[in-house]
Amino acid sequence: MMMSFKRQRCNFLKQVLNCGEVGRKFVALMSSTLKEMRNGGVSAGVRDLYVEDSSTEDELITPGTFSVASGCTLLRDPRYNKGLAFTEKERDAHYLRGLLPPAILSQELQEKRMMHNLRQYEVPLHRYTALMDLQERNERLFYKLLIDNVEELLPIVYTPTVGEACQKYGSIFRRPQGLYVSLKDKGKILEVLKNWSEKNIQVIVVTDGERILGLGDLGCQGMGIPVGKLSLYTALGGVRPSACLPITIDVGTNNEKLLNDEFYIGLRHKRATGKEYAELLDEFMHAVKQNYGEKVLIQFEDFANHNAFDLLEKYSSSHLVFNDDIQGTASVVLAGLLASLKLVGGNLADHTFLFLGAGEAGTGIAELIALEVSKQTKAPLEETRKKIWLVDSKGLIVSSRMESLQPFKKPWAHEHEPVKGLLDAVKAIKPTVLIGSSGVGKTFTKEVVEAMSSLNEKPLILALSNPTSQSECTAEEAYTWSKGRAIFASGSPFDPVEFEGKVHVPGQANNAYIFPGFGLGLIISGAIRVRDEMLLAACKYIYIYIYIYDNVDLTSLCLGKKHKNIYLCFDAAEALAAQVTQENYDKGLIYPPFTNIRKISANIAANVAAKAYELGLATNLPRPKDLVKCAESCMYSPVYRSYL
């Protein structure tokens, strides 16, 4: 006679409990998980069912389930493979004898060896492919490498090298690193999402490949961008790799070179538009929400202007959506502008801004600047926009062009006679700040920089377009043409420049300062929508951190009992700014180093989460008493675990 299910369950639990402390932990964890599932949610994001990511290094954890992965299967699983770091006992327990050389190398020694090997490559793309290979065979070592060497490796996994990787993605493609949703999948996108092995997804980065960096339409090969972004979500923001999903939506490409390339991996037809495109995106958005729930963050990445604004506006009221090109870039640039006031003087409202480029990045930055000035001065938003001017391909955006302007450009059409070129616009507007977001290289010419220098003692010049080849000017050009007076930052990294015996350190207005911590803040709060106030909360921490670095415990200063008022952070920063050495300011730094980026991300996450709770958009209740500690406790650690 067959044993009843209830009796089988009781016998199983008795056997588990007989396993001692590990068994008791397992039962307690599963009981807690089932209770949370019945309540329709989990606290602080997705629960790690096997405590594999949140356990200490010394805890004895079997990867996956009680059915132990062994032998070649274990070595071929990138999430649990440790290579030569498996101990003698682990090799016996998991049938690894003979499958590995006898030497045992610690994770630290493996990291040292890998960095040595990477530095032998002279071509950045070769370093990129080597890192991607490592990610596919040993996930924890990959992230340990990236976290510990972030300043050296960030330009490889992110801009500028990722741009070249996307251009050549068809040639270097090895195995799928994300999901490909194409027009062929229309009507069955939900089925496609279900094919992804991980079910508890917290963050999706999605692109349609139409405007990859400043490189244009790369179609299906834009996948390198979501993959790179999500690597940074994990390394810099601590979001677990298993909770991240890169997606490319393939609707074709208008890039003739790709269409004629025998190695191209996408659909070979012109890009779909109009109703066909809208219906596919709509099905995708609804399928994501149906499959992963209300709280999954969908980050739009590198969509062309004509789609980016529409998608953000359409889905911001029904989904948790974020556009890094519009909102993330705006946040990090505003943070740099606030920091630069210590160098150029005045308040934000005292300055006049001129943009080259009126696309999603330019207008997004402009709007956030106007919003911050409005909050500071209590002036209407329509009034604060008047100090911000934009130049597009047809010249200065002025009111006489109103009828022909796209909707997102119309708020920036001010009263002024038409002006054609950037140089003439600089002379006419007399800006104190020049910002490039055009995607066109070499547009900040010597004449433009000299004109800015003639108008300002310390011209603030931000050449933001990526990759390096598309930068409006180089750091060397900015410092040389301004005779060393410019305050310069760029989208891609540039080396320090020596001019007349003084070393100038260019800043990098890198979105990686913002989006990993921003996403983590949404996750730990269980936010269901994104609001501008959250973006301001994110960028203001960067501004504060530039001044005080690690000299002061910001947690106790800004995020204690009075965390609800974000502007208290400004009071603290102003009071302590005098304690910072003048050396940093003398170098022209307006962004902090990346060496402490995970600490920065944790504090950004706490600020964003605090704002989500304040706005009533958080669902993970009750609110944690210490949001910084909550963020840090949720962050993924790449340290190897014991598998016994």
Query: Active-site residue numbers?
Result: 158, 229
What is the spatial distance between Cα 629 and Cα 623, in angstroms, rounded to a whole number?
Answer: 12
Tokens of 53: 């990511």
DSSP string, 625-643: S-HHHHHHHHS------B-
CB 248 within 8 A of CB 280: no
Other CB atoms within a 10 A radius of the CB of residue 398 amount to: 18
What is the spatial distance between Cα 207 and Cα 304, in angstroms, rounded to a whole number?
Answer: 10
Quote the DSSP letter at residue 417. -
SS (H, E, C) 339-389: HHHHHHCCCHHHCCEEEECCCHHHHHHHHHHHHHHHHHHCCCHHHHHHHEE
Closest listed residue to residue 238, CA positions, set 596, 534, 633, 572: 633
Beta strands in 480-632, from DSSP E residues, in sequence order? 487-490, 497-499, 502-504, 507-508
Closest listed residue to residue 155, CA positions, set 228, 241, 245: 228
What is the spatial distance between Cα 448 and Cα 451, in angstroms, rounded to a whole number?
Answer: 5
CB 514 within 8 A of CB 610: no
What is the spatial distance between Cα 367 and Cα 50, in angstroms, rounded to a whole number?
Answer: 44
Distance from chain centroid for Cα 301 = 10
Q: CA separation (Å) from 535 to 239, 332, 436?
A: 19, 9, 21
Q: Give kind and range of the element (H or E) at residue 391.
A: strand 388-392
Does 456 show up as a binding residue in the annotation? no
What sign for the dihedral angle of Cα 157, 160, 164, 170? positive
Does 301 show up as a binding residue in the annotation? yes
What is the spatial distance between Cα 360 and Cα 328, in angstroms, rounded to a whole number?
Answer: 11
Residues in a beta bridge with 642: 60
Radius of gyration of the chain (CA): 26
CB 165 within 8 A of CB 250: no
Does 350 show up as a binding residue in the annotation? no
Beta strands in 455-554, from DSSP E residues, in sequence order? 460-463, 487-490, 497-499, 502-504, 507-508
What sign for the dihedral angle of Cα 266, 212, 331, 309? negative
Classify strands 497-499 and 502-504 as parallel, antiparallel or unpaired.
Answer: antiparallel
Does 510 show up as a binding residue in the annotation? yes
Give the phi and the psi of residue 229 in degrees, each rounded to 5.
-60, -45
Residues in a beta bridge with 388: 353
Does 550 show up as a binding residue in the annotation? no
Does 113 show up as a binding residue in the annotation? no
What is the spatial distance between Cα 444 and Cα 441, in angstroms, rounded to a whole number?
Answer: 8
Cβ-count burial 309-320 (b if 16+ within 10 Å, e if not): bebbeebeeebb
Per the annotation, where are the binding residues?
211, 301-302, 325, 466, 510
Annotated binding site for (S)-malate: 211, 466, 510
Binding residues for a divalent metal cation: 301-302, 325
